Structure 1
Amino acid sequence: MAITSDENAEVRHAQFAKFFRELHPNIEIKREITPWDDFLTKYMTQAAGGSLPDLMYSHYSWGQNLIKNNIIAPLDDFIAATPDFNTDDFTATARSYWEKDGKLHGVPTDSAPKMLWYNKEMFDKAGVEYPDESWTWQKVQEAAIELTSGKGIKKIFGMVQMPVPYPDLTPIYLLPFGARFLSQDETEVMIDSDTARDALKPWVDLQVKHAAIPSIAEMQARENADPYRANQAAMAINGTWILNDLLNLPPETEFDWGMSHMPSGPEGRSAPGVGSAFGLTTKAANPEAAWIVLNAFLSSAGAQYFRFSPPARLSAIDANLTAMKVPDQVITDTKAALQDYATSDGVLKMPATQKVVDTATPIWDRVRTGKLSLDDALKQIKERVTPVAKENV
């Protein structure tokens, strides 16, 4: 079982392996732990050499790449032979990253919507009302300017993130305005449209003109630590997976936080619903045993045991978030987002995703530093990303 794991998760993995062996004495789970940064390269290399573990972890942005390279296998025959496996316990969005030609190649572990997080103490001090479901992106941008204060290392930023050419650029910042980074099939660059430009222009002003968002240099000075969790930013866009951190902040950075729905645009609201999965590899030496492990590991009970936040299994959401002692409003809004507007539409997930990001990011960084106009940047991104996107055909 190939995993990328932190220390706390590894304790639960070890306990799970022990308990599972007591129920299935003929199956032993051996864990291969690899750091996140090295994981994909390691197993792509192993696959090229004809060797893979039985089970492996997959990030949502890797799924289609692993399928294309015949690394993770379809699970439909195993699912059909397992009466208690309920595919409908996962949203269509959660499953979509590991689906190809009508077949499912991974069982999702977690599926989280990105939401708007805010620092109540900073809002109170500035006399600004808390975000709620009525907030638009324009309201967020106006509040970000008002909430920015101070200078240097103690500066308070109104907002942490600005749009960057990452996989979730479209559902967060562009779809609410009817624009896209790439086409739905990810073969055509669309970020140079007038609609996309108009959606991105206020964010460039927030960064360059108002300095309400941390610059690249300011993030480097903070060693890329999240200013929101460090009590140095009033708002952030992030997934509900940050709940664990917010509930266990060190005393020196502890603050009163809140969470609200994603803001809306003229075309409504959307958020990327993203997460991870595990799948059987095409080189699995013990596929039947591996499926037994996977079915237990990612059952509703397994999701609750591992405290996925929130779990991809809908039946485990209430139990997991209640066990974490999060406010009822957070549970209600998270479930509503997952069911109503969390989406994989526009999330880059095709095999060329990393090359698209790597090609566009240096151009966009020049916009963030004021060295390149937005119009010129969008033209350059269109020109340079177009041949890369064609690799998704």
Structure 2
Amino acid sequence: MKRKLAATLLGITLVATTMLTGCGKTNESGKVDDGKNTSNEEVTIKYATYSAGPDHIKDLEAMIDEFEKQNENINVEYEVIGFNDYFTKLQTQATSKTLPDVFEINYENFVTYANNGVLKDVTEIAKSDETFDESVLTKGAIDHFKYQDKLYGLTEKFSNVVMYYNKDLFDAAGLEYPKPDWTWKDELKAAQALTKDGVYGTYSPVQYNELYKTVAQNGGSLFDAEGKPTINSKENIEAVQWMIDKMNKYNVQPTPEQMSGKSPEDMFKNGEIAMLRTGSWMLGVFADAPFNWDIALEPANTDKVHHVFVDGIVASANTKHADAAWKFIKFMSVDPTATKLRVESGWDLPVVDNEEVRESFLNIEKPESREVIFEALETGIVPPTVLNYSRVQDKINEELSKAVIGQVTVEEGLNEAQAKVEKIVK
């Protein structure tokens, strides 16, 4: 392994073969060569990611090792930054024009970065690369990181959110396991029976990323079809009240104080939470949990809706190594070895449209109901995309936090969030 930049972990909270058989080469002008690195010039590109840490750093290093074997004159230095700090740091780097050559970006923040002109347009490089076939990508994936008909990167992976549940706790309480047609009321009834002896029945975070999906499960939305905020709608107020009532009214979900700084994922793995809404990226992490567990579709109220998160990989507009950056972007998205490592480690879902990949994912022993991950995609929604997405997210989270501690009512908080977001997106 070539020398890598030490991974920096800053407050990490986190936080499917007919494929390409090699990484083809394009030079800096976009001209395709024979797939071998014939240049004697050795280059180093810097890569930043939020999703590798803390559980997939070894997987990332294995991917980089394979990339460097295929591209002998390209070195990759990586940095892992906690999600809570990631976009703040990127914003600072974008302002100072010191962005890494290649970096991970999520679908919801992509539009803001593309609109600000800080991303490399790779449209022509991709078109000139005869080894790149976009048909290997899952339907529609090529479009996620296009802006104004220009390609700025490739979809790297998908993930979604499902309900993890402790089967042993359900068995001990004499309860049936969650069913696909469960509603919020069914969840509450089970959670009340499960909440005892230091165990909480359920958990879902009261934050923006949970909010936009939860309001949709109640027939609401944060923005209308024209992109205007609808944050304080009746449906949204009802949904947020449900989220908070699970903590403050029914106490089937721990409050922040009752969690004592522990993450909900750690509490689930310790047997302290019976039902947990969290991402598909936790499948591998929970594999060695000391109890029987499985996954199910999330309960809903009026509409069955699930998160779908889309992560991409893009290049800085100021990179001096556009060719090397494109090769790495392509590798991380569609290379067979990278895809295999991603599937085997449970590091989200690759974007190649391949039945063999799907079957290899489903054949992993735990959990038993892995097909639920694909079922959730059928009713999935992606986060809303608006300019200044991070600011919008922050303002809504501020008001949700106030409502959680009772500083404001849910209606007051959403009214204030509506006013703040209207100013940002006007």
Give the TM-score category using the shorter length.
0.7 to 0.9
Q: Residues 320 and 10 from structure 1, CA distance in 2 versus in 1: closer, same or farther, beyond 3 angstroms?
A: farther
Q: 1:175 aligns with which of 204, 216, 227?
A: 216
Match of 2:236 in 1: 196
RMSD: 2.7
Q: Residues 373 and 50 from structure 1, CA distance in 2 versus in 1: closer, same or farther, beyond 3 angstroms?
A: closer
**Where do residues 77-116 of structure 1 align in structure 2 (5 Å cutoff)?**
77-91=124-138, 97-116=144-163
Q: 1:2 aligns with which of 47, 53, 73?
A: 47
Give the CA deviation at 1:380: 2.4
Give unmatched runs, 5+ long, in structure 1. Answer: none
Q: Which amino acid letter does the alignment assign opposite residue 98 of structure 1?
A: F
Secondary structure in structure 2 of the residue aligned to 1:177: coil
Secondary structure in structure 1 of the residue aligned to 2:312: strand
Distance 2:192 2:142 in 1: 38
Give the CA deviation at 1:115: 0.9
Q: 2:255 aligns with which of 212, 215, 236?
A: 215
Give the CA deviation at 1:273: 0.7
TM-score normalised per structure 1: 0.84
Match of 1:258 in 2: 294
Distance 1:163 1:380 in 2: 17
Q: Residues 114 and 96 from structure 1, CA distance in 2 versus in 1: closer, same or farther, beyond 3 angstroms?
A: farther
Is the contact between residue 356 and residue 388 of structure 1 (CA under 8 Å) also seen in structure 2?
Answer: yes
Match of 1:350 in 2: 386
- Residues 188-226 of structure 1: CA deviation (Å, up to 9, x unaligned): 33122222223333333222111111112123x133453
Secondary structure in structure 1 of the residue aligned to 2:373: helix
Match of 1:33 in 2: 79
Give the CA deviation at 1:274: 0.3
Number of residue-to-residue matches in the alignment: 372
Q: Residues 300 and 23 from structure 1, CA distance in 2 versus in 1: closer, same or farther, beyond 3 angstroms?
A: closer
Distance 2:263 2:96 in 1: 36
Is the contact between residue 72 and residue 280 of structure 1 (CA under 8 Å) also seen in structure 2?
Answer: yes
Distance 1:95 1:265 in 2: 33
Secondary structure in structure 2 of the residue aligned to 1:74: coil
**Where do residues 25-174 of structure 1 align in structure 2 (5 Å cutoff)?**
25=72, 27-36=73-82, 37-91=84-138, 97-150=144-197, 155-164=198-207, 166-170=208-212, 172-174=213-215
Secondary structure in structure 1 of the residue aligned to 2:193: helix
Q: Residues 22 and 96 from structure 1, CA distance in 2 versus in 1: closer, same or farther, beyond 3 angstroms?
A: closer
Q: Which amino acid letter does the alignment assign opposite residue 327 of structure 2?
A: I
Is the contact between residue 113 and residue 272 of structure 1 (CA under 8 Å) also seen in structure 2?
Answer: yes
Identity of aligned residues (%): 18
Q: 2:275 aligns with which of 235, 247, 250?
A: 235
Q: Which amino acid letter does the alignment assign opposite residue 376 of structure 2?
A: A
Give the CA deviation at 1:257: 0.9
Q: Which amino acid letter does the alignment assign opposite residue 380 of structure 2?
A: A
Q: Which amino acid letter does the alignment assign opposite residue 356 of structure 1?
A: V
Q: Which amino acid letter does the alignment assign opposite residue 333 of structure 1?
A: V
Distance 2:163 2:113 in 1: 31
**Where do residues 349-368 of structure 1 align in structure 2 (5 Å cutoff)?**
349-368=385-404
Distance 1:207 1:61 in 2: 28
TM-score normalised per structure 2: 0.78
Range with greater deviation from structure 2 (32-41 or 55-64): 32-41
Match of 2:31 in 1: none
Give the CA deviation at 1:15: 4.0
Match of 1:369 in 2: 405
Q: Which amino acid letter does the alignment assign opposite residue 217 of structure 1?
A: E
- Please identify which structure carries the higher helix content: 1
Secondary structure in structure 2 of the residue aligned to 1:30: strand
Is the contact between residue 191 and residue 378 of structure 1 (CA under 8 Å) also seen in structure 2?
Answer: yes
Query: Do residues 289 (structure 1) and 289 (structure 2) align?
Result: no
Distance 1:386 1:364 in 2: 17
Q: Which amino acid letter does the alignment assign opposite residue 283 of structure 2?
A: L
Is the contact between residue 160 and residue 228 of structure 1 (CA under 8 Å) also seen in structure 2?
Answer: no
Is the contact between residue 306 and residue 380 of structure 2 (CA under 8 Å) also seen in structure 1?
Answer: yes
Secondary structure in structure 1 of the residue aligned to 2:89: helix
Secondary structure in structure 1 of the residue aligned to 2:369: helix
Match of 1:336 in 2: 375
Secondary structure in structure 2 of the residue aligned to 1:189: coil
Secondary structure in structure 2 of the residue aligned to 1:56: strand
Match of 2:36 in 1: none
Is the contact between residue 294 and residue 368 of structure 2 (CA under 8 Å) also seen in structure 1?
Answer: no
Q: Residues 319 and 381 from structure 1, CA distance in 2 versus in 1: closer, same or farther, beyond 3 angstroms?
A: same
Match of 1:303 in 2: 339
Distance 1:23 1:110 in 2: 21
Q: Residues 294 and 231 from structure 1, CA distance in 2 versus in 1: closer, same or farther, beyond 3 angstroms?
A: same
Match of 1:379 in 2: 415
Q: Residues 61 and 248 from structure 1, CA distance in 2 versus in 1: closer, same or farther, beyond 3 angstroms?
A: farther
Match of 1:245 in 2: 285
- Residues 229-274 of structure 1: CA deviation (Å, up to 9, x unaligned): 332111111111100111133xxxx2211101222432x3111210
Distance 1:366 1:18 in 2: 46
Secondary structure in structure 2 of the residue aligned to 1:158: strand
Distance 1:51 1:112 in 2: 29
Distance 2:142 2:270 in 1: 33
Secondary structure in structure 2 of the residue aligned to 1:85: coil
